Structure 1
Amino acid sequence: MEPFVSQVYFGDLLAGTDEAGRGPLAGEVVAAAVILDPRNPIAGLADSKKLSEKRREALFVEIQEKALAYSVASASIDEIDNINILHASMLAMSRAVSTLSIAPEHVLVDGNRIPPNLPCSAEAVVKGDARQAAISAASILAKVTRDRAIVEAAEIYPEYGFEKHKGYPTAQHLEAIRLHGITPIHRRSFGPVKKILEG
């Protein structure tokens, strides 16, 4: 059975936005914004974390083909360390919405906070990535983009196993940090990394 996702539109220009990568110890936080086309629906949209990698990759392509507009943006590791991950996530989402090729009339934001400096009205939707199609689409674009970036980092730093844990604080990842130290893509402000650095 396909996951149920409601679709409520403010005209045709309702954007959804979501981020990926708040929890990992490494890598940028990535956000996406999507304006879906109500005349060209996409079946099977759901919270990106509930979909298989294969399904996410297929939807990633379909969203780009069928959406009226989409944008992907990020906040850097330095920004995460300087302003904290929450504010960096808000910044990334604001950047994604602001760089859409079509200006949205309204934005649905996953979670319980609204990023600052959005170009239109907005509302926060708790568990929105499972409830609103535009947010689901944004979550898929953000997660696939971030996962691809961290897998590329695995080729540069093979001893850390980024391709397996995607930067999250698994036992393997923490042990690799203890053995090899940190890389330029590690978030120094995050507790487990900070603790090892202060060692």
Structure 2
Amino acid sequence: MTTARAIRGYRLVVPREWQKIPVRRGTDQALGALLDKAFARHGRDEVAQYRRELEQRLKALINQARNNAGVDLYLPFGRREQNLPASFLVSLVDFASPDAPDPQRVLAEVLATTEGGEPVELDATPGIRTERVYDADPDREVAYPSRRVEYILPVPGTTDSWLVASFSTFGAGSPADGTARLLCALFDAIMGTFRWERMQKDNT
């Protein structure tokens, strides 16, 4: 008998400048390698203070991502003067509810009640894409308004598990400017490469 192949992860193709930091395991190793690469052209003493400050900021982002069921955090990490004002987080939310409604019904309800929502399909999985502008929220340590794009997909073969890819950008000073819209288009292109990773077939 051939059983369906369970989902074990996902794949994305990202531009070379974008770095992935795993949030659940291997985080410290990935963060150290990223910082080493970022400051490879400079002596340690020359950039020690800036490296420490950046490391603290990144750890704060990672902790926030972990609290939001994050799996991987992606950051554009080129030379300091070329860093893009954007990031995105891939999260896996497992409600594990035995009496969960059909995922397509959930998607239809969310689509009907969510501003800026539209249906999408990624790797043969129907989902939702939303795009909205959010105000600054000092109470949550969000100092600037941002434009956010989210993709929400049910995990195939599960009753109540969802993958959420959340992108955020400040643009070049305004979430309504051309830079913000261009970066959102880049994220859409990245999500166009999305594929599920499946367990090996079990033929018995």
**TM bucket normalised to smaller:** under 0.3
TM-score (norm. length: structure 1)? 0.22
Higher helix share: 1
Larger Rg: 2
Higher strand share: 2
